[in-house]
Structure 1
Amino acid sequence: MKLYGKTALVTGASRGIGRAIALELAQSGLKRLIIVARTQEHLEALAQEIAHRNADISVVVLPLDLTQPICVNTAIAQTWRDYRAIHLLINCAGVAYQTPFLTAKLPDVYQEISLNLIGLYTMTRCVARRMVSQEEGTIVNVSSLMGKVAAPTLSTYSATKFAILGFSQALRHELAPRQIKVVTLLPTLTDTDMVRGFKRFRWVRAMTPQQVAKALIQGLEHDHNEILVGWQSHLVIWCQHFAPWLLERILQLSMP
């Protein structure tokens, strides 16, 4: 994908991977960057940082709760009207709770499903229907290595990330005739605020958000449909295909 002169929208942009992606995109030649998260104060601080680094890009702050479909529909309709086409959508907003299944709290489960899956679906639907009219667009859905290999104590989070992969695969084939590309990004454990309180799995080394963001830009430049981030991800997928018994054993031994 050619990013120069285009408009991109990033959800979950106020922190973690989403913030790193927004900062990386701001250096890629975009004309406009729309940053979405729930807290306006955090978004405005990010917009100021981007403007300090690159005065040539227009940054639009869009505070929005993705679990509110009516608000999402209204905001995207108004944004499209005011700023015209969105060429790149990056669905990065998400939440995770590390809890053994038998002690998980239903409000936490509902929040993970509502934001990680339903929020992503809602935003994608709003933007994709408009991308169809311009016969151009790229949608990036941020899944996880846990969308390939489920992690103990993160069952709901893993379930949403598996669902994102399936949704993206179906959408990829469905929207291809309309010239819309669907990409999945699969980072391994990343050192963000969301996971700093987690009990770490043995032998797993966290990546930085900046590494994930750079991998995404490289993947977009090379038109990859699926972007695995880090050697650990490639090793796990190799084990899953060729030695699943070994992967099962490793997962058991690595539990926190």
Structure 2
Amino acid sequence: MKLLDKTALITGASRGIGRAIALELARQNCKTLLLVARNTTKLEELAGEIQAFNPRTKVIFFSVDITQIDRVSMTLTKAWREFGPIQILINCAGVAHQRTFLQTNLSHIDAEISLNLKGTYTITQLIAKRMVCQQEGTIVNVCSLMGKIAAPTMATYSATKFALVGFTQALRAELAPDNVRVVTLLPSLTDTDMVREFQRFRFVKPLTSRQVALALIAGLKRDREEILVGWQSYLALWCQRLAPWLLNLILLLTAPLPKRRSKLT
């Protein structure tokens, strides 16, 4: 896939992986970048940074919460009318809360399902309809290795990412006849501000956001449907296939699980 002169929309663009992807797409000379996130100040800073090193790329940002369906629909209609067809959609908006299952509260569950799954579903449907009409497009769902291997203390997040992997696989088959590609990006633990307050998994070396973005660019150029990032991801998946009992043991040894106290009754 050639990225030159494409128009791309990136959700979750104000920070972390989404921000890094926007920067790398600008370095690939995408024609237009449509940046979507809730934080206007950070979007403005990113737009200025991109314009400083690549004034040829047009950068437009929209301060939008993608869980607000009506607002998203109006924003996309305006973007399509003013800036032309969108050839690439990068679904990167997401949230994660780290709690053991027994400590998880309903507000965290609602937030993760609403943004990670329902928000992604909504914006993808709105854009995919237009991509099908133009018979061209690429949709990238930024999932996680936790969408293949569930992690203790991340039950709800893992559940949403497992669902997103399944959603992506279904779309890949449905939209292929209309020349719309659907790609899964599967980074392992990445050092972003979203996870810096988390208890770390022992022996797991985090990726940088730029490593993830570069892996995505390379995968898109090679027309990959599923893009793994980092040797730890490949090792974990091979372990899951060949020795699942060993992977379960590793997860128990590395996860930041609290010690249980016996309770006399």
Band the TM-score falls in, shorter-chain normalisation: over 0.9
1:244 equivalent in structure 2: 244
Give the deviation of 1:243 after TM superposition: 0.5
Which whole-Å CA distance do the structure 2 matches of 1:135 and 1:63 have between them? 28
Q: Are residue 142 (structure 1) and residue 152 (structure 2) matched? A: no
Which whole-Å CA distance do the structure 2 matches of 1:242 and 1:50 have between them? 44
What are the superposed Cα offsets for residues 97-130 of structure 1, whole Å, 9 maximum, x if unpaired? Answer: 0001111111111000000000000110111001
Which whole-Å CA distance do the structure 1 matches of 2:229 and 2:107 have between them? 31
Aligned counterparts, 1:11-90, within 5 A: 11-90=11-90
1:118 equivalent in structure 2: 118
What are the superposed Cα offsets for residues 20-62 of structure 1, whole Å, 9 maximum, x if unpaired? Answer: 0000100102110000000111101100000001011100111
Give the deviation of 1:85 after TM superposition: 0.2
Aligned counterparts, 1:219-234, within 5 A: 219-234=219-234
Count how many residue pairs are aligned between Structure 1 and Structure 2.
Answer: 256
Give the deviation of 1:78 after TM superposition: 1.1
Give the deviation of 1:157 after TM superposition: 0.3
Which whole-Å CA distance do the structure 2 matches of 1:21 and 1:52 have between them? 17
Which whole-Å CA distance do the structure 1 matches of 2:5 and 2:198 have between them? 40
What are the superposed Cα offsets for residues 127-161 of structure 1, whole Å, 9 maximum, x if unpaired? Answer: 10011111000000000000000000000000000
Which whole-Å CA distance do the structure 1 matches of 2:50 and 2:76 have between them? 22
Q: Which has the higher mean CA deviation after the structures are superposed, 74-83 or 186-195? A: 74-83
Aligned counterparts, 1:200-215, within 5 A: 200-215=200-215
Give the deviation of 1:80 after TM superposition: 0.6
Which whole-Å CA distance do the structure 2 matches of 1:144 and 1:254 have between them? 18
Which whole-Å CA distance do the structure 2 matches of 1:3 and 1:211 have between them? 18
Give the deviation of 1:198 after TM superposition: 0.5
What are the superposed Cα offsets for residues 210-241 of structure 1, whole Å, 9 maximum, x if unpaired? Answer: 00000000000000000000000000000000
Stretches of structure 2 that go unaligned for 5 or more consecutive residues are 257-265
Which whole-Å CA distance do the structure 2 matches of 1:255 and 1:125 have between them? 36
Which whole-Å CA distance do the structure 2 matches of 1:100 and 1:155 have between them? 8
1:128 equivalent in structure 2: 128
1:193 equivalent in structure 2: 193
Structure 1 stretches (4+) deviating beyond 6 angstroms?
none
Question: Structure 1-normalised TM-score?
Answer: 0.99
Which whole-Å CA distance do the structure 2 matches of 1:208 and 1:3 have between them? 22
Stretches of structure 1 that go unaligned for 5 or more consecutive residues are none
* Matched AA of 1:48: G
Helix, strand or coil at the partner of 1:195: coil
Give the deviation of 1:91 after TM superposition: 0.1
Which whole-Å CA distance do the structure 2 matches of 1:104 and 1:252 have between them? 19
* Matched AA of 2:109: V
2:176 equivalent in structure 1: 176
Question: What percentage of residue pairs aligned between the two structures are identical?
Answer: 60
Give the deviation of 1:84 after TM superposition: 1.0
Question: Structure 2-normalised TM-score?
Answer: 0.96
Q: Which has the larger radius of gyration?
A: 2
* Matched AA of 1:125: Q
Structure 1 vs Structure 2 CA RMSD: 0.5
